[in-house]
Amino acid sequence: MTDQKPEVKKKLTLPDLFKKVADGTPITWLTCYDYPTAYLQEQAGIDMILVGDSLAMTMLGFESTLPATMDDMIRHSAAVRRGAPNTFIIGDMPYMSYQPSVETAIRNAGRFMAEAGCDAIKLEGGVEMADKISGIAAAGIPAIGHLGLTPQSVSALGGYKVQGKNAALAKKIVDNAKALEEAGAFMILLEMVPDRLCKLITERAKNCIIMSLGSGPHGHGQLLIYHDMFGLYPRFKPKMAKVFGNAGEVILNGLKGYVAEVTTKTFPARENYFTMKDDEYNELMDLLG
């Protein structure tokens, strides 16, 4: 960390997000799972943070998002809140934390708010999840829907691929967006749907913010996965991600430098360790006989 004083921004609220939409200012949204990254994202002026269940892959090395648990999500969401006290933070409801029943969904959504200090929750699915969105919203918890490529259903979807490419499937996504908005979702994330489908849904939304992840420029804002944009996920880089800086490469080079310097005994240098006064050292030798 630098010695610079952190900038303190005003806490971003739900009305602020709708004001951005009304002003035509795109909303910025990133995933984040830890305290130091949350600190940097807030300093950079990011509007919203998603503590995604993608942490199962990006942070814990699993092959899918399914192994993320509620306890994992709460632990990481609370860390992110500590790093970004004034950013709008969304807790991502993990697999089976909302699918079984409306009551399960409300209770787990409530944990994100009460235990981690989140501002909203997100869950995956369309009309079949409308009752959960409606129950959560009725409990006073801002709820976000997620359509298109929904990673918790990756097996049923047949892999990580673009959704809604033909007219019939696109119509289903339009209908699902309508159902989620009517159920009370204040925001919908469209992941990996064609740009024109995202535009259409954005134009039809009445009181709902539409966010794009790999769905083109026409939503009310953009989401990216932090690890993809900084070269920090070794398994693959999705087409929708742009690398804004190769932190993975910087870190790898630093690690190689450490290995080289320790091996060649150039680290630690004099400024990296502590010494003892001669008289204290001599006394120690006396004490040791």
Q: What residues act catalytically?
A: 191
Which residue is associated with the tokens 């259409």? Answer: 200
CB of 53 to ligand KIV, least distance (A): 4
Check: CB of residue 220 under 8 Å from CB of residue 241. no
| Beta-bridge partner residues of 5 | none
| Helix-helix angle 102-116:130-138, to 10 degrees | 50
Query: Vertex 105, ends 19 and 47: CA angle to 5°?
Result: 25
Nearer to ligand KIV, 156 or 168 (CB): 156
Binder among 37, 41, 65, 97 for ligand KIV (CB under 6 A):
65
Identify which range of 18-26, 50-58, 78-86, 134-142 contacts ligand KIV by CB under 6 A.
50-58
Which residue is associated with the tokens 């489908």? Answer: 197
Nearer to ligand KIV, 59 or 243 (CB): 59
CB of 188 to ligand KIV, least distance (A): 12
- Binding mask 66-105 toward ligand KIV (x if CB under 6 A, else -) reads --------------------------x-------------
Distance in angstroms (rounded) separating the CA atoms of residues 83 and 97: 25
- Binding mask 174-213 toward ligand KIV (x if CB under 6 A, else -) reads ---------------x-x---------------------x
CB of 150 to ligand KIV, least distance (A): 8
| Total of residues contacting ligand KIV (CB under 6 A) | 12
Nearer to ligand KIV, 50 or 143 (CB): 50
Nearer to ligand KIV, 53 or 119 (CB): 53
Neighbours of 182 (CB within 10 A): 14
Distance in angstroms (rounded) separating the CA atoms of residues 268 and 214: 45
And the tokens for 145? 């829907």
Q: What does residue 193 show for φ and ψ, rounded to 5 degrees? A: -115, 160
CB of 96 to ligand KIV, least distance (A): 15
And the tokens for 108? 């787990």
Q: By C-alpha distance, which of 218, 208, 216, 168 is closest to 192? A: 216
For 270, which DSSP code?
Answer: G
Distance in angstroms (rounded) separating the CA atoms of residues 132 and 104: 9
Check: CB of residue 48 under 8 Å from CB of residue 87. yes
CB of 213 to ligand KIV, least distance (A): 5
Nearer to ligand KIV, 206 or 220 (CB): 220
Name the CA radius of gyration of the chain, rounded. 23
Binder among 31, 37, 134, 163 for ligand KIV (CB under 6 A):
31
Identify which range of 51-59, 201-209, 233-241, 260-268 contacts ligand KIV by CB under 6 A.
51-59
- Footprint of ligand KIV on this chain (CB under 6 A)? 31, 50, 52-54, 65, 92, 151, 189, 191, 213, 225
